[in-house]
Structure 1
Amino acid sequence: MKRVLITAGGSGIGLAMAQAFDADDYEIHVTDVNEAALNALPSHFKGHLADASAEEDMKAVFKKITQAGGLDALCANAGIAGPTAAIEDVALADWQTCVSVNLEGAFLAAKYAAPLMKTAGRGSIVITSSTAGQYGYPFRAPYAAAKWAMIGLMKTLAMELGPYGIRANAICPGAVEGPRMEGVLEREASAKGMTRDEVYAGYAVGTSMRSFVEASDIADMAVFLSSDKARLVSGQVIAVDGHTENPDPKI
């Protein structure tokens, strides 16, 4: 049985990934900082209470995965939205926290997954970036900077690890239905002097498909990228966003 680790897999996109890999007969390992979310996972999932941006936590998780038999796929999915504010109003501490969780979380997961995958001579690393990693996003400087950097990390991993049979790709979700996006909508509405519904409509109108996406859409792409059907797909930035045309929603 193949084995996958999904960081921040207790809810949202991460949970959808865990469910999709489970349906594809993977052994599921999930990290999360929310113990209640881990306790709510199906009993056959392996939950690990860990902060993806804390090195000692991730060392402990990978020690258990090594003992379990190694790793076939990694979904470096941990992330936070960070502050929504004009650049002059962004506190350094908020910038550092956002960059740490998003970028350092992906770095640590890849750092400890790579030796296991090198030993096996194969593996797939999927990093959850964002369409904010493809465009500039007003009022979202820390988040956009981190997500751009994650794409640079992914492309470097693809080049560095490719000779060992390890592939690396990034998924860039657009506006994903769910509680996290609701928080973003409320904060952007406040920052831009708009209503929540106006911002929501702006996101949808800003895509050629005129739609938000579901977490399951992101999960399906992660499973595909980790499958043999994508055996020569590496170093790619793949948006699952309904084709974003306007990254700064306006009516």
Structure 2
Amino acid sequence: MSGRAAALAGRVALVTGGGSGLGRAVTRSLHADGARVVITGRNEAALKETAAHFGPQVSYRVCDVSRPDDVEELARGLAGEEISILVNNAGIAGPVAPLTEVTPQEWDEVFDVNVRGVFLMCRAFLPAMTGRGTGDVVNIASVSGKRPLLRRTPYCASKMAVIGLTTTLAGEVGPLGVTVNSLSPGPVSGPRMERNFRLEAERTGSTRARAEQEFVGRSALGRMVTEDEVGEAVVAMLSMRGLCGADIDLSAGMVAR
């Protein structure tokens, strides 16, 4: 455990999209610093495997955060838990295509998960936090919400919406003792970026390696960040007690250039 463990020991964190990728990395960091973690997602097999990997301090619940009935059932099922940390990580990448080729169904799917899911989870779990006068919400946004990323309009727009939701919600619940912040990673090495590089290469007639280099070359450090760095950043944000209404870049300098 790190020096922050004392602050997280005994706290219960709820992480959406926790079965794999960034959600699993966030779970790893929270667990390492002493928190009990409940992970949610749509893939029960992935959730079950992740919970088993970390042991009894991590449990799981199947939930589609874009569905109000699922979120309400999740809240009822966790009524006996004092959820004091909510990490809204669940998200989908959406299509890689010009806006004029994006279907309304594809657009709605991205916003249903990436934005509506954050709204529904906050709506369900904030009342208990504000009632206790303490709690922390971390919404996972993206640097892609703050700078152009061609052929990714639904995703970029959804992540900017998450940032706007965060800053406004912080003003609503900050006076009641709850902090709300967002973390904007990107690009993060892993399967999602591999998919994006492949699709970009196919669309432009380039190679996957060239698509990656053109993207990563925009960052000050000339590399992508790792999933574990994202998990560590979430824990670090939880230790910064004066942080509220902020959006933190974790992009290896992607936005700075």
The TM-score with structure 1 as length reference comes to: 0.94
Q: CA deviation at 1:216?
A: 0.8
- Give, in whole Å, the separation in 2 of the partners of 1:139 and 1:13: 23
Q: CA deviation at 1:104?
A: 0.6
Q: CA deviation at 1:66?
A: 2.0
**Map of 2:11 onto structure 1:** 2
Q: Deviation above 6 Å: which 4+ runs of structure 1? A: none
1:219 aligned counterpart, secondary structure: helix
Matched, 1:27 2:36: yes
Q: CA deviation at 1:58?
A: 1.1
1:96 aligned counterpart, secondary structure: helix
- CA distance 1:225–1:128, change in 2 (3 Å): same
Question: What is the correspondence of 1:75-90 to structure 2 with a 5 Å cutoff?
Answer: 75-90=87-102
Q: Deviations over 1:33-88 (max 9, x none)?
A: 111101102342110111011111111112222212x2111100010000010111
2:13 aligned counterpart, secondary structure: strand
Matched, 1:221 2:233: yes
**Map of 2:122 onto structure 1:** 110
Q: Which moved more, 1:204-213 or 1:41-50?
A: 41-50
Matched, 1:39 2:51: no
Letter in 2 for 1:81: A
Letter in 2 for 1:233: L
**Map of 1:144 onto structure 2:** 156
- Give, in whole Å, the separation in 2 of the partners of 1:211 and 1:10: 25
**Map of 1:156 onto structure 2:** 168
2:83 aligned counterpart, secondary structure: coil
Q: CA deviation at 1:245?
A: 4.9
Letter in 1 for 2:175: P
**Map of 1:135 onto structure 2:** 147
- Give, in whole Å, the separation in 1 of the partners of 2:203 and 2:14: 36
Residue 61 of structure 1: which of 57, 71, 74 is its match? 74
- Give, in whole Å, the separation in 2 of the partners of 1:221 and 1:204: 20
Q: Which moved more, 1:146-155 or 1:182-191?
A: 182-191
- Give, in whole Å, the separation in 2 of the partners of 1:246 and 1:27: 35
Equivalent pair of 1:174/1:240 in contact (CA under 8 Å): yes
Equivalent pair of 2:143/2:255 in contact (CA under 8 Å): no
Letter in 2 for 1:239: D
Matched, 1:126 2:138: yes
**Map of 1:52 onto structure 2:** 65
Q: CA deviation at 1:246?
A: 8.9
Q: CA deviation at 1:122?
A: 0.8
Matched, 1:212 2:221: no
Equivalent pair of 1:203/1:212 in contact (CA under 8 Å): no
Q: Which moved more, 1:38-47 or 1:161-170?
A: 38-47
- Give, in whole Å, the separation in 1 of the partners of 2:194 and 2:96: 13
User: Structure 2, unaligned stretches of length 5 or more?
Assistant: 1-9
The TM-score with structure 2 as length reference comes to: 0.92
Q: Deviations over 1:119-174 (max 9, x none)?
A: 22111110010011111221001001100000000001110000111111111111
Equivalent pair of 1:158/1:169 in contact (CA under 8 Å): yes
Matched, 1:235 2:245: yes
Letter in 1 for 2:252: G
- CA distance 1:117–1:200, change in 2 (3 Å): same
Percent identity over paired residues: 32
Structure 1 vs Structure 2 CA RMSD: 1.3
- Give, in whole Å, the separation in 1 of the partners of 2:228 and 2:97: 30
User: Structure 1, unaligned stretches of length 5 or more?
Assistant: none
Q: CA deviation at 1:9?
A: 0.3
Question: What is the correspondence of 1:185-196 to structure 2 with a 5 Å cutoff?
Answer: 185-196=197-208
- Give, in whole Å, the separation in 2 of the partners of 1:173 and 1:34: 23
Q: Which moved more, 1:77-86 or 1:105-114?
A: 105-114
